[in-house]
Amino acid sequence: MHDRFIVYGVEASYFTRKVLALFAYKGLPTDFRRKTLMVAPEVEAKAGTRLMPVVVTPEGEWLWDSTPIALAMERRFPESPVLPPTPVLQVTARILEDFFDEWPTRQALHFRWYYAADREHGGGSVARDILGIAQDAPLDAEGEAMVEKARMSVESWATRTAQAIGADAAAQDEMVGEFVRLVEILDQHFAEVPFLLGDRPTLPDFALAGGLAAHFLYDPTPRGLIERHGPQLIAYQERLDAARADSVPPWSENDAFAETLAPLLQHVALGFHSFLKANHAALAAGQKEVTLDLGYGARRLSTRRYTERTRAETAAALAGLDAAAREQVEAVLEPLGVLEALRLPVIL
């Protein structure tokens, strides 16, 4: 037994960076270990997943999946909460976390694997991490060949996934258009407000921060788009990196978010939640694909069972409220369009 948390992952991984940012904010003693090809078989067998990150608690428990990990840490360390105590902000936090976990990950894969410079940089970084080669170590020809081979093996998984979720080269206009729209909305928000839900970071900030650190401010193509369309995101990431739970302002008492968040929630409703509804209908009908048109032409996407389950978990946070709290949440979130998808029946 050790007295620290171990996080296995790689530096340029969305969810690894999400969990590392969360643990740093909460002040949890953490050892980051690269999930190299050497340790992968043991980590995967003990955690029961191929995905990363994997967390080993000081008691030796092996955990995976960032949302349950975050909720477990919330229960274990209630003195450093990332879920607001009041209903409107709490449900909004869950809706936004689900969005940042499940939807901009399409752009993360798209940019990294369909643009040469991003493949070289981000893909190369993942390859070095899984081989256990330091990011800045000079490589001879043999080393270059090893990195290229590792990069190709990750790429073959990544491009298969990108095709399934409609994030491949054919979706370029949609990927770039949706990304720029999101970045512009966030830019306007962070020009006024330090974090997504106000003066202190909450759960979705870590999902967004994971995406920024591992992909969107790391890979050159999305970084260039952020520099042009949303430079406030750069200051935001630095602010979140520096934030610590023991030195943030108290929760606001009025259970309200800034007006600049409304366009983000509408964006979530029009894009991600349209997918959630179509995904739900297709899964209920036993279909394997959904058709989605976000204004860039109709696209066939694979159904996503995992995403239906996280939808249902987010919905449970709303359903679990008492009637008075639910009424407050509905008054704020109904007009923004983000509750419809949460009212669908559980099917999985």
Ligand X SMILES: N[C@@H](CCC(=O)N[C@@H](CS)C(=O)NCC(=O)O)C(=O)O
SS3 content of the chain, % helix, strand, coil (to 5): 60, 10, 30
Amino acid at 248: V
Which 8-state DSSP code applies to residue 292?
Answer: E
What does the binding site for ligand X look like in residue numbers (CB under 6 A)?
13-15, 50-52, 65-67, 101, 157
Q: How far is the CB of 334 from ligand X (least distance, A)?
A: 28
In the complex with ligand X, which residue's Cβ is closer, 50 or 228? Answer: 50
In the complex with ligand X, which residue's Cβ is closer, 15 or 218? Answer: 15
The residue at minimum Cβ distance from ligand X is 66
Q: Are 151 and 127 in contact (CB under 8 A)?
A: yes
In the complex with ligand X, which residue's Cβ is closer, 10 or 91? Answer: 10
Strand partners, 161: none
Q: How far is the CB of 287 from ligand X (least distance, A)?
A: 23
Q: Are 80 and 246 in contact (CB under 8 A)?
A: yes
The token duo for 188 is 């306007």
Q: How far is the CB of 66 from ligand X (least distance, A)?
A: 3
In the complex with ligand X, which residue's Cβ is closer, 100 or 190? Answer: 100
Q: How far is the CB of 101 from ligand X (least distance, A)?
A: 6
Q: How far is the CB of 55 from ligand X (least distance, A)?
A: 10
> What's the CA gap between 176 and 123, in Å, rounded?
19
In the complex with ligand X, which residue's Cβ is closer, 190 or 275? Answer: 275
Number of Cβ atoms within 10 Å of the Cβ of 98: 27
Say which residues have a Cβ less than 8 Å from residue 198's Cβ, sequence separation at least 6: 89, 252, 257, 258
